[in-house]
Amino acid sequence: MEITNVSEYQEIAKQKLPKMVYDYYASGAEDQWTLHENRFAFTKILFRPRILIDVSKIDMTTTVLGFKISMPIMIAPTALQKMAHPEGEYATARAASAAGTIMTLSSWATSSVEEVASTGPGIRFFQLYVYKDRNVVAQLVRRAERAGFKAIALTVDTPRLGRREADIKNRFTLPPFLTLKNFEGLDLGKMDKADDSGLASYVAGQIDRSLSWKDVKWLQTITTLPILVKGVLTAEDARIAVEAGASGIIVSNHGARQLDYVPATIMALEEVVKAAQGRVPVFLDGGVRRGTDVFKALALGASGIFIGRPVVFSLAAEGEAGVRKVLSMLREEFELTMALSGCRSLKEITRDHIVTEWDSPHPRPAPRL
């Protein structure tokens, strides 16, 4: 079967992967309302295309924190990629580099920062969880710096792990042949079996629940790398992030894996963008499966988007070639959307190019007499 869109990889991954692994990647928290809403909310945004504009040349390039990339489509941090494919994060790093875009490596990767750096050149960010032992955190940040990573994406929505019922049912744990590579030498690389989710038990034991805004300041004392705050959903927190010295904000609900019944990220985006007032770039993470989704996010003020599940599903299906194909398909769809909307560069994509369900109150139907 010829793959013609990003979503088709999910079904292939479901057939290829063990149930425990597929469910870990695919599932959300509790009722999974937000999981479905992350996708469905994009259908509430329609285009207002402009016509008779010369779109023979289209420029999708942009800069993120000063780094030039080929398109505003980047790779989000997704943990445990070697469960999907033996090459795991190596394959993802090479695919991102070939596409001229940014890969974000998870703290809980099955390849270390040094191993990912060894795959060759590329712009890479490092996603950070803050452990109770701050020496572990400082050590990890220094290693990421030495390995040439260009920014820290601090995940702020996980003081505890969300209730992922599929993982509880499956007694999820890391397969015995894999470790959390960044923590291997620190006796923190293994995940014990538990009566529920092995990952939930690991998080309860290791992750610092006392994490607060003062720790964003603390992080700035141990690294010169720019810090992106990942997990912002409200204007209030966007304003505090800017005041705390964040270099950027990632609007994220953790792939709908943390608190259920939070808004889809595309619904929360505009509020955060308005609160940031252009002082820092705002990015969207969650639910993007089409080039049309990328355009909608940029029209609502995002400086770029990150994709997560499409990467692990395509990795499971076809390894590095699958990830390359996902990036290529999204790029082509996005370029086509720009052309058909009458936009030749990213700066030409404006709020006027879309209309949303929440833009104006819906007229009520006339009462029956």
Contacts of residue 361, defined as CB under 8 A and 6 or more positions apart, other chains included, come to none
Tell me: is residue 127 an annotated ligand-binding position.
Answer: yes
Tell me: is residue 347 an annotated ligand-binding position.
Answer: no
Tell me: is residue 324 an annotated ligand-binding position.
Answer: no
Q: How many CB atoms lie within 10 A of CB 263?
A: 17
- DSSP result, 269-319: HHHHHHHHTTSS-EEEES---SHHHHHHHHHTT-SEEEE-HHHHHHHHHHH
Q: How far apart are CA 171 and CA 218, in angstroms?
A: 36
- The catalytic residues are 254
Tell me: is residue 129 an annotated ligand-binding position.
Answer: yes
Tell me: is residue 368 an annotated ligand-binding position.
Answer: no
Where would I find the H helices in the chain? 8-16, 19-26, 33-40, 88-99, 113-117, 134-146, 165-169, 198-206, 213-222, 235-243, 265-276, 291-299, 309-341
Tell me: is residue 77 an annotated ligand-binding position.
Answer: yes
Tell me: is residue 206 an annotated ligand-binding position.
Answer: no
Tell me: is residue 289 an annotated ligand-binding position.
Answer: yes
Phi–psi pair at 105, nearest 5 degrees: -95, 135
Tokens describing residue 156? 């702020």
Tell me: is residue 16 an annotated ligand-binding position.
Answer: no
Buried b (16+ CB within 10 A) or exposed e, 52-78: eeebeeeebebebbeeebebbbbbbbb
Q: Are 235 and 274 in contact (CB under 8 A)?
A: yes
Tell me: is residue 36 an annotated ligand-binding position.
Answer: no
Tell me: is residue 239 an annotated ligand-binding position.
Answer: no
DSSP 48: -
Tell me: is residue 155 an annotated ligand-binding position.
Answer: yes
Any idea which residue has 């990220």 for tokens?
A: 265
The length of the chain, given as a count of residues: 369
Q: Are 156 and 21 in contact (CB under 8 A)?
A: no
Tokens describing residue 253? 């609900």
Q: Are 259 and 253 in contact (CB under 8 A)?
A: yes
Q: What is residue 219's three-state secondary structure?
A: helix
Please, which residues bridge with residue 128 across strands?
A: 154
Q: How far apart are CA 321 and CA 302, in angstroms?
A: 28
Tell me: is residue 344 an annotated ligand-binding position.
Answer: no
Tell me: is residue 9 an annotated ligand-binding position.
Answer: no
Tell me: is residue 301 an annotated ligand-binding position.
Answer: no
Instruction: Kindly tell me the sign of the dihedral angle through the C-alpha atoms of 152, 158, 162, 167.
Output: positive
Tell me: is residue 261 an annotated ligand-binding position.
Answer: no
Tell me: is residue 308 an annotated ligand-binding position.
Answer: yes
Tell me: is residue 106 an annotated ligand-binding position.
Answer: yes
Binding residues for glyoxylate: 24, 129, 164, 254, 257
Binding residues: 24, 77-79, 106, 127, 129, 155, 164, 230, 252, 254, 257, 285-289, 308-309
Binding residues for FMN: 77-79, 106, 127, 155, 230, 252, 285-289, 308-309
